[in-house]
Amino acid sequence: DAGITQSPRYKITETGRQVTLMCHQTWSHSYMFWYRQDLGHGLRLIYYSAAADITDKGEVPDGYVVSRSKTENFPLTLESATRSQTSVYFCASREFYEQYFGPGTRLTVT
């Protein structure tokens, strides 16, 4: 089915470990986004990408790395996970004024 998929859906990791969250879209939308959602903060933009090989920082980029070698994939890497990165992570793509979200990855850092 067309849409955005994220994997894994749930992840528990230890402080200091590297973690990569995957995002795949089937629409070929140019723009893709990574958000984290925390109680009291709503959705905050981590990074976004306007096209393959073009990425830019959002509101909360520290501790995260992204890449986009292909239009359909936009992985998010936590280089050395910290407890403050425990959150729900959403990937999204954009068409004109509208965004379409994946189902999210719930990440717990112990």
Partner 1 sequence: TQLLEQSPQFLSIQEGENLTVYCNSSSVFSSLQWYRQEPGEGPVLLVTVVTGGEVKKLKRLTFQFGDARKDSSLHITAAQPGDTGLYLCAVLSGNQFYFGTGTSLTVIP
- The residues that touch partner 1, with contacts defined as CB under 8 A, are 4, 31, 33, 40-43, 45, 48, 50, 56, 58, 90, 92, 94, 97-104
3-state secondary structure of 61: coil
Which C-beta is closer to partner 1: that of 6 or that of 85? 6
Least distance to partner 1, CB of residue 43, Å: 4
Nearest to 106 by CA among 6, 26, 5, 3: 6
Residue (14 or 40) nearer to partner 1, CB: 40
Q: What 3-state class would DSSP assign to 26?
A: coil
